[in-house]
């Protein structure tokens, strides 16, 4: 039995005016695909943009910046950078946009950020060693998985402040990770999947406290029986989705496989909902693997395998007491053939999805369908090619996706949920070739996607949807609207193809009909026709169109004797003869046989004119017309391959790049981010570069045509003369190492490792052997791990070197890495003090343990780090105060010793505190630093926003003063004073390469040399780390003079100064 879908019958010409007006409105402007050239938005999951206070916020890149936070109006226009979080061309890569009230939270540059929509109001909340993931708000508090402070990836929460961003619980204690995932809010309680040190991956819940973070149910208890991997069993809950007071998810058990479960957050309320794919064989487990959960209009939908032949179906649950009901899903092309749901998108309460099935013998069945409630509706098929539809995205209530109807190649399509409203947008790659658009997403009313067409490498394209896209106009000449049935897809379904509207835009002629069948699957389109002398005058925008004329001889050789020569007529398009003495019977090979003619027509006046004129026999006749926008007409140039080049520093590299262009366009050559001194002739492609630097360099040559739109091609090649040796190298520190001989996994990080260069770790202590297998750089940081054995009794330092090999040249990087192994440290000795109110106290810590290098002083009240060094001068005290001090070696420290300063009487002079190069600032322990003052000479240093190790008062060390020589002169009056100098190296090893030895300078106090060739990097143990020096000075002339003098490397620099009586 044959079925015809979406066919509407109307009287001939009855819909002409209304249909014509609607089409005219739809095509009044033409939205063509175009390359993005200025601001490049980035697709993010689960959302690419969020609306806040009438603006859209999203991630994007532009010239001069990496991927940063941008904003636009709600249509996606008037884009503007909100804040360049990682300045320059580096990228912060904002993602995981989450709104809580009027605050936007997101992850960028490894940390949690928040924004009120302004640059100054966009700030870092907290940085992490493993960036936050799966951000989920619960009652105004953000929960997420992250790692910081030496713990693994664990559950954190944040109220939007640094102090309120804390670890909820170290579920898998130590360096192990609980890896919380699939976080979901169930009526104010957080549920998630996690792993602790006794169970496998199971269901957990949290109320935001450590005590209230507990396992819900051990669904798959016990331990694996595999002797090679005796680990705890895991049910691995996934896709947690809150619905009707419970959380639904997929989980595995050995009895049922991976099936549908639900929980109300209690052990007793955690249950198997349904075993959707049951097999009666006792030793054979098969899983339905529920996934893609989504709640729509008070019902839960999900996808699962429903047959052993791997057919994906869609199920619905109405409430927590109902069983899953199969309501839709993929349709197999044959019995026992597999079928899958290729993509899904919810728009205005309707679930759209793609269906795909393929077998080598039967071909493919591909369709777009929708689910509304329990009503499964077919929308359109997409031929029998092997390309599934996908890349679904919702832009302003319209579905956009990538598909191939067997005629256009893989292009961008849209659908409003009806067959007549489902059509391809103007093609990126005209004709049957593929554009292969990927990563479709919307920002406001602009649709973005990537394609390699035209450039050879993936590039960002867009459709401006404020200009309605022109889609094809299809007319059933002489007949009513009809959706063409193209083929039988599955045993029980016929699927429809293109939609042809009622006869419209005609002038003159008559209509006719025939009941004869043609040689096509659906003959309806050819059983009506317009004949006589007539024309079609179709309103379109100026541009190029493909006009497809459908013919089938309805009379001669069918209802009356005749054949070739019985009907001959002419067709003009835009006043130009395109078909002369056209004979349908002869061209098609018989009566009621289909033949199509495709004409390329350029329209300049807004109306496409087609005239059907008498020839030498009978009258013209036509069955249907299609007017299809030609899409992008330009073709990309092709740049010839450029081989890698090897030469020595000091040589000049020269060659001529060459390219071809199918359209004969003028070509312009250029370089992308060229190395210093390199150049290319824009007309001839002649390249020259006096190669003066050692190392390996990527050079990219680009050729651009002058077509519309302009297309380009690039070729990247390597110029190598041995590897760079000036890269920064980082080591690692292990604390609380048990004394004796121990095996370790060492870690060495090569910063900005060169692409294609081979790196190996050598060294140790007292030996020089290879410790790691060769690894290759990729342009970013390269982390190399390797085993080694160490003897640890006191803090031990093992030195490792990195050998780099490239272009058959091996060299050792200039900077070595340290592996520091520190045994447990004993608490230091430190005595308390008794002072009068208004005075400061100088406290000293000491230790007899070998290897202690410094001491760290903390506030007992807040736990904040106050000072690093053996001698700590307190702020002015008015009440008895308690401190903790710990002995430290590298990054490790001992338990704390309590030190009490007892305050009894009043009195004491005022201290001087200056924030060098910065504004006034109050520390967490209430020490007030004034804005920069009392200085003579020097320059304010460029500020940094990065965190500073060894202090809770980062801002004090993010500004500074530097110069060849400068001084501070404090009007102290006569007497003895403690001078505390605060340092942090924020330039070398951070902004620029360098480290130990890059900066060395002198400091004089009251004319006496106190620091000679002082090296901040060496003293602090690296960049972005605190170093402090304290000196007792006697002033006799009423002014305390602090002089900073040039040493043997670079210039002096200081972050803050305290002068304490």
| 493 inside domain | no
| 519 inside domain | yes
Could you read off the pLDDT of 627-656 as tens digits, one per residue?
988 765 567 788 898 888 776 556 788 999
Is the pLDDT confidence value at 560 over 60? yes
pLDDT, greater one: 909 or 1004: 1004
**Mean pLDDT lowest for which of 133-137, 300-304, 837-841?**
837-841
Contact status, residue 462 vs residue 33, Cβ threshold 8 Å: yes
Give 71's contacts (C-beta < 8 A, 6+ positions apart).
Answer: 55, 56, 57, 58, 79, 80, 82, 117
| 952 inside domain | yes
Burial of 466-477, coded b for 16+ CB within 10 Å and e otherwise, reads eeebbbbbbbbb
Give the three-state DSSP class for 73. coil
Same domain, yes or no: 1056 and 916: yes
Mean pLDDT calculated for residue range 861-879 = 89
Mean pLDDT calculated for residue range 388-405 = 92
Tokens read off for 378: 């077919």
Mean pLDDT calculated for residue range 716-722 = 75
> What pLDDT sits at residue 890?
83
Name the band, by pLDDT with cuts 50, 70 and 90, for residue 281.
low
> What pLDDT sits at residue 783?
87
Same domain, yes or no: 715 and 695: yes
Could you read off the pLDDT of 728-783 as tens digits, one per residue?
888 878 888 888 777 777 788 888 887 777 888 887 554 556 777 778 887 788 88
> What pLDDT sits at residue 326?
94
Tokens read off for 760: 């190996």
Same domain, yes or no: 870 and 924: no
Could you read off the pLDDT of 657-693 as tens digits, one per residue?
999 887 788 999 999 888 888 999 999 999 998 875 6
Instruction: Give Cα 165 to chain centroid, integer Å.
Output: 24
Name the band, by pLDDT with cuts 50, 70 and 90, for residue 810.
confident
Tokens read off for 704: 């651009």
| 230 inside domain | no
Contact status, residue 605 vs residue 534, Cβ threshold 8 Å: no
Q: Which range marks the domain in which residue 977 is found?
A: 912-1060
**Mean pLDDT lowest for which of 15-29, 259-273, 336-350, 420-434?**
15-29
Same domain, yes or no: 887 and 953: no
CA-to-CA dists, residue 772 to 13, 784, 801, angstroms: 80, 7, 11
Name the band, by pLDDT with cuts 50, 70 and 90, for residue 5.
very low
821, 855, 884 - which closes a domain? 821
pTM metric for this prediction: 0.55
Same domain, yes or no: 717 and 774: no
Mean pLDDT calculated for residue range 337-345 = 90
Alpha helices in 598-715 (DSSP H): none
Same domain, yes or no: 844 and 809: no
Give the three-state DSSP class for 1041. strand
Tokens read off for 693: 């630097």
Residue 535: count of CB within 10 angstroms of its CB: 16
Same domain, yes or no: 790 and 851: no
Same domain, yes or no: 941 and 1051: yes
Same domain, yes or no: 890 and 844: yes
Tokens read off for 511: 């209509």
Same domain, yes or no: 988 and 878: no
705, 721, 737 - which closes a domain? 721
> What pLDDT sits at residue 405?
83
Same domain, yes or no: 949 and 1044: yes
> What pLDDT sits at residue 26?
34
> What pLDDT sits at residue 522?
83
| 765 inside domain | yes
Give the CATH number, domain containing residue 924.
Answer: 2.60.120.430
Could you read off the pLDDT of 465-496 as tens digits, one per residue?
876 666 789 999 999 988 887 654 444 444 55
> What pLDDT sits at residue 490?
44
The Cα 19–Cα 99 span in angstroms is 44
Is the pLDDT confidence value at 15 over 50? no
Same domain, yes or no: 814 and 884: no
> What pLDDT sits at residue 709?
66
Is the pLDDT confidence value at 10 over 60? no
Could you read off the pLDDT of 116-152 as tens digits, one per residue?
999 999 999 999 999 999 999 999 999 999 999 878 9
> What pLDDT sits at residue 629?
82
Mean pLDDT calculated for residue range 973-978 = 84
Give the CATH number, domain containing residue 708.
Answer: 2.60.40.60
Mean pLDDT calculated for residue range 165-194 = 94
Name the band, by pLDDT with cuts 50, 70 and 90, for residue 541.
confident
Give the CATH number, domain containing residue 804.
Answer: 2.60.40
Instruction: Give Cα 913 to chain centroid, integer Å.
Output: 44
| 391 inside domain | no
**For tokens 């059509």, what's the residue?**
423
Is the pLDDT confidence value at 17 over 50? no
Could you read off the pLDDT of 606-632 as tens digits, one per residue?
899 999 999 999 999 999 999 988 765
Give the CATH number, domain containing residue 856.
Answer: 2.60.40.10
Give 256's contacts (C-beta < 8 A, 6+ positions apart).
Answer: 272, 275, 285, 287
Contact status, residue 378 vs residue 369, Cβ threshold 8 Å: yes
**Mean pLDDT lowest for which of 78-92, 818-832, 884-898, 901-915?**
901-915
73, 98, 124 - which closes a domain? 124
> What pLDDT sits at residue 217?
95
| 1022 inside domain | yes
CA–CA–CA angle 829, 830, 836 (5° rounding)? 170
Tokens read off for 569: 């007529």
The tally of domains found in the chain comes to 6
| 202 inside domain | no
Could you read off the pLDDT of 343-375 as tens digits, one per residue?
999 999 999 999 988 877 777 788 899 999 989
């Amino acid at each position: 039995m044959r079925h015809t879908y979406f066919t509407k019958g109307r009287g001939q010409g009855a819909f002409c005016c209304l249909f014509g007006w609607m089409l005219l409105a739809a095509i009044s402007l033409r939205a063509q695909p175009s390359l993005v050239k200025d601001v490049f938005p980035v697709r993010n999951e689960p959302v690419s943009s969020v609306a806040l206070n009438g603006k859209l916020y999203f991630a994007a890149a532009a010239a001069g910046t990496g991927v940063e936070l941008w904003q636009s109006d709600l249509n996606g226009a008037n884009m503007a950078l909100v804040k360049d979080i990682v300045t320059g061309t580096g990228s912060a890569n904002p993602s995981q946009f989450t709104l809580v009230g009027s605050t936007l939270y997101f992850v960028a540059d490894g940390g949690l950020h928040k924004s009120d929509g302004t640059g100054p109001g966009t700030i870092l909340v907290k940085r992490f060693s493993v960036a936050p993931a799966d951000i989920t708000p619960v009652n105004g508090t953000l929960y997420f998985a992250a790692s910081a402070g030496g713990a693994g990836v664990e559950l954190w929460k944040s109220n939007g402040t640094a102090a309120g961003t804390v670890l909820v619980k170290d579920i898998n204690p130590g360096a192990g990770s609980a890896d919380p995932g699939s976080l979901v809010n169930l009526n104010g309680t957080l549920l998630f999947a996690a792993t602790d040190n006794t169970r496998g991956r199971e269901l957990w819940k949290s109320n935001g406290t450590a005590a209230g973070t507990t396992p819900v149910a051990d669904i798959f208890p016990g331990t694996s029986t595999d002797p090679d991997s005796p680990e705890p069993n895991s049910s691995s809950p996934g896709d947690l989705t809150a619905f009707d007071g419970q959380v639904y998810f997929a989980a595995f058990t050995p009895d049922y496989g991976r099936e549908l479960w639900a929980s109300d957050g209690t052990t007793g309320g955690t249950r198997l909902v349904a075993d959707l794919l049951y097999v009666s064989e006792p030793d054979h487990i098969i899983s339905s693997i529920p996934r893609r959960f989504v709640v729509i209009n008070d019902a839960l939908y999900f996808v699962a395998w429903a047959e052993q032949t791997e057919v994906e179906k869609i199920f619905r649950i109405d409430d927590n007491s109902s069983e899953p009901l199969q309501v839709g899903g993929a349709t197999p092309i044959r019995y026992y053939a597999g079928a899958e749901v290729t993509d899904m998108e919810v728009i205005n309460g309707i679930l759209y999805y793609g269906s795909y099935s393929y077998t080598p013998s039967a071909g493919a069945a591909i369709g777009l369908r929708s689910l509304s409630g329990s009503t499964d509706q077919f929308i359109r098929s997409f031929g029998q090619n092997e390309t599934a539809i996908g890349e679904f995205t919702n832009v302003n209530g319209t579905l956009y996706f990538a598909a191939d109807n067997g005629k256009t190649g893989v292009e961008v399509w849209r659908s409003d949920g009806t067959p007549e409203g489902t059509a391809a947008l103007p093609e990126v790659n005209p004709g049957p070739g593929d554009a292969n658009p990927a990563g479709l997403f919307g920002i406001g009313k602009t649709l973005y996607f990537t394609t390699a067409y035209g450039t050879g490498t993936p590039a960002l394209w867009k459709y401006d949807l404020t200009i309605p896209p022109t889609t094809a106009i299809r007319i059933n000449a002489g007949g009513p609207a009809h959706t063409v049935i193209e083929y039988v897809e599955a045993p029980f379904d016929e699927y429809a193809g293109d939609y042809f509207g009622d006869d419209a835009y005609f002038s003159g002629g008559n209509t006719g009909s025939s009941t004869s069948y043609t040689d096509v699957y659906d003959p309806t389109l050819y059983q009506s026709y317009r004949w006589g002398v007539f024309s079609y005058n179709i309103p379109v925008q100026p541009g190029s169109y493909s006009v497809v004329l459908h013919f089938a001889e309805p009379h001669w050789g069918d209802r009356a004797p005749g054949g070739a020569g019985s009907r001959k007529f002419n067709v003009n398009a835009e006043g130009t003869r395109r078909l002369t003495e056209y004979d349908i019977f002869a061209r098609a090979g018989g009566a009621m046989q289909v033949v199509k003619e495709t004409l390329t027509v350029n329209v300049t006046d807004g109306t496409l004119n087609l005239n059907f004129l008498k020839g030498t026999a009978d009258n013209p006749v036509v069955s249907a017309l299609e007017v299809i926008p030609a899409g992008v007409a330009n073709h990309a140039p092709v740049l010839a391959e450029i081989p890698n080049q090897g030469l020595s520093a000091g040589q000049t590299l020269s060659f001529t790049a060459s390219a071809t262009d199918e359209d004969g366009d003028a070509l312009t050559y250029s370089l992308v981010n060229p190395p210093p001194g390199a150049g290319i002739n824009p007309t001839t492609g002649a390249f020259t570069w006096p190669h003066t630097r050692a190392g390996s360099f990527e050079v990219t040559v680009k050729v651009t045509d002058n077509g519309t739109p302009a297309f380009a091609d690039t070729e990247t090649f390597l110029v190598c003369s041995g590897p760079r040796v000036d890269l920064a190298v980082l080591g690692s520190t292990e604390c609380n190492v048990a004394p004796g001989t121990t095996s370790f996994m060492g870690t060495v990080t090569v910063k900005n490792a060169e692409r294609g260069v081979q790196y190996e770790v050598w060294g140790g202590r007292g030996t020089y052997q290879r410790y790691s297998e060769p690894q290759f750089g990729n342009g970013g940081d390269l982390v190399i791990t390797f085993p080694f054995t160490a003897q640890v009794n006191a803090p031990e330092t093992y030195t490792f070197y990195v050998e780099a090999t490239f272009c058959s040249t091996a060299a050792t990087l200039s900077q070595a890495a340290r592996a520091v192994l520190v045994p447990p440290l004993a608490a230091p000795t430190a005595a308390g003090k008794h002072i009068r109110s208004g005075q400061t106290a100088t406290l000293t810590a000491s230790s007899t343990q070998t290897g202690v290098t410094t001491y760290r002083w903390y506030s007992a009240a807040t736990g904040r780090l106050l000072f690093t060094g053996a001698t700590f001068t307190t702020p002015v005290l008015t009440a008895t105060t308690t401190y903790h001090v710990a002995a430290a070696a590298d990054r490790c420290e001992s338990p704390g010793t309590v030190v009490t300063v007892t305050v009894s009487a009043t009195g004491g002079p005022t201290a001087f505190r200056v924030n060098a190069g910065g504004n006034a600032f109050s520390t967490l322990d209430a020490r007030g630093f004034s804005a920069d003052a009392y200085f003579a000479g020097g320059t304010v240093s460029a500020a940094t926003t990065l965190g500073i190790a060894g202090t809770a008062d980062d801002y004090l060390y993010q500004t500074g003063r530097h110069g060849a020589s400068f001084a501070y002169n404090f009007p102290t009056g006569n007497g003895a004073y403690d001078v505390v100098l605060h340092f942090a190296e924020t330039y070398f090893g951070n902004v620029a390469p360098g480290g130990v030895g890059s900066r060395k300078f002198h400091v004089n106090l009251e004319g006496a040399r106190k620091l000679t060739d002082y090296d901040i990097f060496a003293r602090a143990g690296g960049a972005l780390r605190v170093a402090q020096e304290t000196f007792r000075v006697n002033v006799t002339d009423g002014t305390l003079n602090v002089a900073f003098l040039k040493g043997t490397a670079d210039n002096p620099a200081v972050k803050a100064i305290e002068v304490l009586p």
